[in-house]
Structure 1
Amino acid sequence: MTLDLLAAPESADAQTWADPAAYWGAMTTAVADVSGPVAALSLPALRFNALDMLVRAGGMPIRVASKSVRIREVVDATLALPGYHGILAFTLPEALWLAETHDDVVLGYPTADRGAIARLAADETAAARVTLMVDDIAQLDLVDAVAPPGRRAPIRLAIDADASWRAPGLGHIGVYRSPVHEPAEVANLARLIADRPGFRLVGLMMYEAQIAGQGDATGSGDAVIRWMQRRSGHELLERRAAIVDAVERIAPLDFVNGGGTGSLELTASDRSVTEVTAGSGLLAGHLFDGYRAFDPAPAAAFSLEVVRKPAPDIATVLGGGWIASGPPVASRQPAPVWPQGLKTMSREGAGEVQTPLRGEAARDLRVGDRVWFRHAKSGELSERVEEFQLVQGDRRVGTTPTYRGEGKTFL
Structure 2
Amino acid sequence: MYERYERVFAHVPRPFAFLDMDHLDANIAYVQRYLRDKKIRIATKSVRSLGVLKYIANHFPSFTGWMTFSVSETVFLLKNGFDDCLLGYPTVETEEILQLLPYMRVGKKVIFMVDSLETWERLQQIGKQHEIVFSICLDINVSTNFPFLYFGTKRSPLTEKVALSDLLKKGLTLKNTRVVGVMGYEAQIAGVGDRPHEKWKRGIMPTLKKASTKEVSKWRKAAVEMTEQIAGKLEFVNGGGSGSLLWTAEQEEVTEITVGSAFYFPALFDQHHSLPLKPAAGFGLRVTRQPEQRIIVCHGGGYTASGALSTDKFPQVYLPKGLHYLTNEGPGEVQTPLKATDQIPAIGDTVYFRHAKAGELCERFQLLHTCRGDQLEGQFRTYRGEGECFL
Give TM-score scaled by structure 2 length: 0.95
| Contact 1:264–1:276 (CA under 8 A) maintained in structure 2 | yes
Q: CA deviation at 1:24?
A: 2.5
Aligned position for 1:263: 244
| Contact 1:42–1:300 (CA under 8 A) maintained in structure 2 | yes
* Distance in 2 of aligned mates of 1:301 and 1:132: 32
* Distance in 2 of aligned mates of 1:125 and 1:28: 50
Aligned position for 1:30: 8
Whether 1:277 aligns to 2:255 is: no
Question: Given the alignment, which residue of 309, 312, 316 partners 1:331?
Answer: 312
Q: CA deviation at 1:93?
A: 1.1
Aligned position for 2:56: 78
Aligned position for 2:143: 164
Question: Given the alignment, which residue of 35, 45, 49 partners 1:57?
Answer: 35
**SS in structure 1 of the partner of residue 230 of structure 2:** coil
Q: CA deviation at 1:99?
A: 2.5
Q: CA deviation at 1:127?
A: 7.0
Aligned position for 2:220: 240
Question: Given the alignment, which residue of 319, 330, 333 partners 1:349?
Answer: 330
| Contact 1:106–1:132 (CA under 8 A) maintained in structure 2 | yes
Aligned position for 1:292: 273
Q: Which runs of 5+ in 1 are unaligned?
A: 1-22
Aligned position for 1:378: 358
Cα deviation digits, residues 40-89 of structure 1 (max 9, x gap): 10111001101101212223111100000101111111111223321000
Whether 1:190 aligns to 2:187 is: no
* Distance in 2 of aligned mates of 1:36 and 1:152: 52
Question: Given the alignment, which residue of 284, 292, 301 partners 1:303?
Answer: 284
Cα deviation digits, residues 347-374 of structure 1 (max 9, x gap): 111110100000234x632211100000
**SS in structure 1 of the partner of residue 11 of structure 2:** coil
Q: CA deviation at 1:128?
A: 4.4
| Contact 2:127–2:133 (CA under 8 A) maintained in structure 1 | no
Paired-residue identity, %:
35
* Distance in 2 of aligned mates of 1:60 and 1:188: 30
| Contact 1:88–1:107 (CA under 8 A) maintained in structure 2 | yes
Cα deviation digits, residues 285-334 of structure 1 (max 9, x gap): 01111112121100001100011111110110011000000011000000
Q: CA deviation at 1:122?
A: 4.6
Aligned position for 1:15: none
**SS in structure 1 of the partner of residue 64 of structure 2:** strand
1:143 partner letter? L
* Distance in 1 of aligned mates of 2:107 and 2:209: 37
**Number of aligned residue pairs:** 386
* Distance in 2 of aligned mates of 1:80 and 1:189: 38
Q: CA deviation at 1:144?
A: 4.5
* Distance in 2 of aligned mates of 1:159 and 1:126: 24
Question: Given the alignment, which residue of 151, 166, 174 partners 1:173?
Answer: 151
Aligned position for 1:321: 302
* Distance in 1 of aligned mates of 2:230 and 2:121: 21
Q: Which runs of 5+ in 2 are unaligned?
A: none
**SS in structure 2 of the partner of residue 73 of structure 1:** helix
Give TM-score scaled by structure 1 length: 0.91
